[in-house]
Amino acid sequence: MSKKQKRLLLAEDLSAVGNISLGVASPILQAKDIPVALLPTSLLSSQSEGFAKPAVVELGNWIQDAFKHWESADIAINSALIGYFDQVEVGIALKEFFQKHSLDLVVLDPAFADEGELYPRMTLDHVKNMRELLSFAHVTTPNVTEAYYLTDSEFVLNDRQSLKTLLEKMEALMQPGGRAIITGVTVGEQLGCALLEDGKVKKTLFPTVPGHFYGSGDVFSALLTVFLWEGYPLDKAVKEATEVTYIGLKQTSQSSDERRFGIKLSGIIKHLLDNH
């Protein structure tokens, strides 16, 4: 009898225009030959920011059917990367999946807010839904805004003590042993992420690249998942994911394309193939 090939569930929205979400996560994972089960959480004519109101197809019912089909077809899923979804029904379906299946690795990128505000189409019901999913996560990668929403904390940017408290509160929402990495942390002219190591805040930073980069969080969480899948310890996985994300930001900043079209991936893919 042949051994089942284990797969990583990749659940994010799919935008027809814009290098973001599923459009960046899938090629990053597949560049490293990680078998994936793609679960588009919604289909958009463009990403939800920078292109006015996109045409949207909600896929909540299809997702339920996809889970049933995979189970009947004996598709083995042992890991998951969960990113953007804007239907609470999708979150409920994911929660039911996690209740039924014990996975080796669940990476949750909350992807619902930034710069102090919820994304378009997001509500506080979504925040509540995401808190429930946190209880299944081994690793989560909220940005600063998302971490404050999820922990219902007073918004204070980047103070070391508040970061420590925020990380502790995030990890209290997760399954035992769960680890939180807060992204979008700024220190002077540097930007990066923070996590707890032996009770202390550890930051991994790179020089700030001016401007806003749509999809940068999706790239980081996908890269982090790659390195965790390959067995890197968390601190090394965070360091590698941060450094490779920076490659994509630099390439994008040097491109003549408008930022709303998302992250350039060719430099990231080349680095993954040549160096890992």
CA 144 to CA 147: how far, in whole Å?
5
In percent, how much of the chain has pLDDT > 90?
Answer: 79
> How does residue 202 score in pLDDT terms, banded at 50, 70 and 90?
very high
Evaluate if residue 100 carries a pLDDT over 80.
yes
In percent, how much of the chain has pLDDT > 70?
Answer: 96
CA 184 to CA 21: how far, in whole Å?
17
Q: Determine, yes or no, domain membership for 123.
A: yes
Residues in the chain: 276
Q: Determine, yes or no, domain membership for 267.
A: yes
DSSP strand pairing (7-15 vs 77-82): parallel
CA 162 to CA 153: how far, in whole Å?
10
Neighbours of 164 (CB within 10 A): 15
Evaluate if residue 204 carries a pLDDT over 90.
yes
Q: Determine, yes or no, domain membership for 116.
A: yes
53: domain CATH number is 3.40.1190.20
**Mean pLDDT value across the chain:** 93
When divided into structural domains, the chain yields a total of 1
Q: Determine, yes or no, domain membership for 242.
A: yes
Write down the pLDDT at residue 51.
83
Write down the pLDDT at residue 262.
87
Q: Which amino acid would we find at residue 142?
A: P
**Residue for token pair 């299946």:** 101
Phi, psi of 140 (to 5 degrees): -135, 150
Among the listed residues 216, 196, 218, the one whose alpha carbon sits nearest the alpha carbon of residue 206: 216
- The token pair that represents 232 in the structure block: 């890197």
Question: What is the average pLDDT across 152-175?
Answer: 84
Evaluate if residue 102 carries a pLDDT over 90.
yes
- The token pair that represents 4 in the structure block: 């089942």
Write down the pLDDT at residue 157.
59
Question: What is the average pLDDT across 188-204?
Answer: 94
36 secondary structure, DSSP code: E
> How does residue 1 score in pLDDT terms, banded at 50, 70 and 90?
very low
- The token pair that represents 256 in the structure block: 């003549």
Question: What is the average pLDDT across 223-229?
Answer: 98
Q: Which residues contact 80 (CB under 8 A, 6 or more apart)?
A: 8, 9, 10, 11, 98, 103, 105, 106, 107
> How does residue 164 score in pLDDT terms, banded at 50, 70 and 90?
very high
Write down the pLDDT at residue 167.
96
* Helix, strand, coil percentages for the chain (3-state, nearest 5): 40, 25, 35
Question: What is the average pLDDT across 163-167?
Answer: 93
Q: How many CA atoms lie within 13 A of 175 on its CB side?
A: 16
Write down the pLDDT at residue 47.
82
Evaluate if residue 3 carries a pLDDT over 80.
no
Q: Determine, yes or no, domain membership for 2.
A: no
Instruction: Note whether 55 and 195 are within 8 A (CB).
Output: no
Write down the pLDDT at residue 4.
67
| pLDDT tens digits for range 206-217 | 999 888 888 899
Q: Determine, yes or no, domain membership for 15.
A: yes
> How does residue 268 score in pLDDT terms, banded at 50, 70 and 90?
very high
Q: Determine, yes or no, domain membership for 130.
A: yes
Range of the domain at 103: 7-275
| pLDDT tens digits for range 33-72 | 999 999 999 999 988 777 888 999 999 999 999 999 999 9
Q: Determine, yes or no, domain membership for 1.
A: no
